[in-house]
A and B are shown apart, each in its own frame.
Chain A
């Protein structure tokens, strides 16, 4: 070879001062990693769609106020929900297998209670004007989100103060009034106008509201109790549970018999029984199925039992026994569980000849509630899949859409209806159905990608036990309305946030960055980017990502 180059001119090893970035190895790939956050099981399950993992991620970094503001982006009452929600989000929590589910409700409560700059700012005024009827959780959520979207919002409610069932149906030992008052006040501080003691159909007409506003949201809730339909029900010591609870919570102390049967297995029954206990009445809960079928929140049943309230299961009332004008007992028939019914729970079947008497001097019915349409046209309560009534400009939220549900479901319904109404007010064509609430939290999340436990890289996670949640002891709480569940301070909340696996949510752990064999992942503000010119599509980053926040996508050229 004709060359002047000598052997000694060559380095001892192939080395080039020109970096290999000139070689576009990215052209070799047929798949490439894409940063794409996925929907964690908690948010997927949350009826309000709370963006739990992202808020916990902020809290884990010590940004508590940012986390609180994030939580309030759509949800106006986290302090309330942290206390009253049965937290279905904790059921599918992937942390369960590694020490126990994250106590999301305790973190939500901590963030909700946080004072400071925690409210988002409303968008610029749109000049549109919405009436929300009902100041329960659905109405509050609808009002809050419509106000944040820039609309003027007026809430019409028939009670003395906003809150709906939160105020009239949930005892203070679960939800202290100052917590509710504060959150209602925060909504009002955004400019939502509350008009109290006005009942639609009686004090104001739906058509007048339609005339005065660009849209109307009906969120009346279910307040009308179902009847027992048994002989003796008309005795004055047979009380409607919802109404009795409302009076007790308002501070009234009517003269009540010493021993009362509370009929029902839902939350109202638990709230009535536990409230009666606290004012010196001896309640006994009568339910026609077993504990397993009770619709009440499991922890409420647990707390009621811990307080010593007796339960009579598999018992269906057949008559109220009255002697000499006084109730002497509730005659019941023993039930057995048969085949599952439409609700999926096993149907109670009467056992012939099994009648027995529960001695008591009063009865409270808590058999479930329905909407009270008094003064409203029937069709006003008929929701289509986009939460619109068949009356132009009228929309529905809460129990009226979903049937009797949790406070969280009502909030979710309010968030959804606000989105539909916002579209309606801004001239967008109505969607075929109301959007999924998770879509509305508007973080870039692939909603159709689930993060099951198997998708996590559990090599990165150590088991850490779920922390203790302190309750007042039954002795401390039986005779007063003090809050039973004790809250957490910032240290506990942050530790719990750090226990969160951040399923599907990039928390900038750098695992992908360190593992990329081609140095094709670059750090950028707020995350990472794949250098597509040099990524060969090996997929190691996707395999290693502890939390499934990366996917491999086929490259199309």
Chain B
């Protein structure tokens, strides 16, 4: 069934179709309408789930961990400060190998207070063992939620589905909502190998001495590596059921591009328009969108970016003191290439706190890059001393 819905509703439909059994969440703008929709599904009997009202995000994830430990398919959603408040349990969920799916609507961290989008909230959870998927359309959001359960339950790691505040969460577009039968064929009921069971008392998450701890963490790493393949397999299976396919990364007009814009989230959609415009001017450029960020598809990036003249990484985030996070990550992926095949890597930080990234911005960035006028690292469209800008250009 096709419907015009917003990104947050797409999340809720995905969760409904995945037949989550326990939902525990605490409202926060811009996530709220996700759990409002889910509460309505539960209230109307369209989703046979227990909706647990909690007093904080920490409790929300704790409730999910408890329910998941007992073998339930669970869901939670949050944003920004809420995700930060969950942080301790974010680690726990991954360490306990629970296939929890969490939707985070990317919102900038305070202060200054902001309800608008950027990626620092989720990227701050990068090293917790969770998988992360950055979406660019409502359709992708719905499909990714369903896929996430399949992948998580296969590799026993939690997944964060990430969507930009407002640009995606609150923007309506046409979404094909699959029939329940389709999803049921794709996603069988959850059967955890180990779960809380009154018939089989045991202790989970107990003290592990130095002679074993590393092995359990190594198993997380192995699961992440396995997940890289599982995401591909699951995407293929989904594609056969629905005709919609997603890769770990998504390329646009890459074929002969010598300048590639690498980014994640909705700016990648905007970038396609910018690329079309520049191509009409004869600038050979393309877009590479990072979709699955953890596990990190380093081989894909290296393969698709090898031999390009330059790659411009657009970060809607910053690791303060060391520039954009996707920039660093891309750099690490490209280092595997022989030096002659390594593109020049430029990093641009833009759009923090929900500042719009327009087609004009991206055309200007790519044009500057093509003209060798873009510094190695820069903040786009930010008030800064002119001499600093000139020095940055001169340094090239």
Contact = CB atoms under 8 A, between A and B. Distances in A.
A12 interface: yes
B194 A14 contact: no
A336 B194 CA distance: 84
A19 interface: yes
Contacts of B371: none
A14 B205 contact: yes
A230 interface: no
Interface string B193-231: 110000011111110100110011011000100000000
Contacts of B203: 15-16, 18-20
A505 B126 CA distance: 50
Interface in B180-199: 193-194
A11 B208 CA distance: 12
B310 interface: no
A7 interface: yes
B211 A20 contact: no
Contacts of A16: 202-203, 206
A15 B204 contact: yes
Nearest to A19: B201
A183 B206 CA distance: 64
Given A1-B211, A7-B215, A7-B218, A12 B97 contact: yes
Interface residues of A, number: 13
Interface string A1-34: 1000001001111111111100000000000000
B216 A15 contact: no
A14 B193 contact: no
Contact of A10 (B95, B216, B223): B216
Nearest to B205: A14
Contacts, number: 48
Given A7-B218, A10-B215, A13-B96, A20 B194 contact: no
A17 B202 contact: yes
Contacts of B212: 10, 14
Interface in B137-163: 156
B15 to A, nearest CB: 24
Contact of B156 (A12, A15, A17, A19): A12
A12 B193 contact: yes
Nearest to A20: B203
Interface in A18-61: 18-20
Given A1-B211, A17-B200, A12 B219 contact: yes
Contacts of A18: 202-203
Given A1-B211, A15-B194, A20-B206, A10 B201 contact: no
| Most chain A CB inside 10 Å of its own CB: which residue of B97, B200, B203 | B203
A13 B211 contact: no
Contacts of B218: 7
B76 to A, nearest CB: 19
Nearest to A17: B202
B97 to A, nearest CB: 5
Given A10-B215, A17-B200, 9 more contacts: A12-B216, A12-B223, A13-B96, A13-B205, A14-B205, A16-B202, A16-B203, A16-B206, A17-B201
Interface of A: 1, 7, 10-20
10 contacts: A7-B215, A7-B219, A10-B212, A13-B205, A13-B216, A14-B212, A16-B206, A17-B200, A18-B202, A20-B206
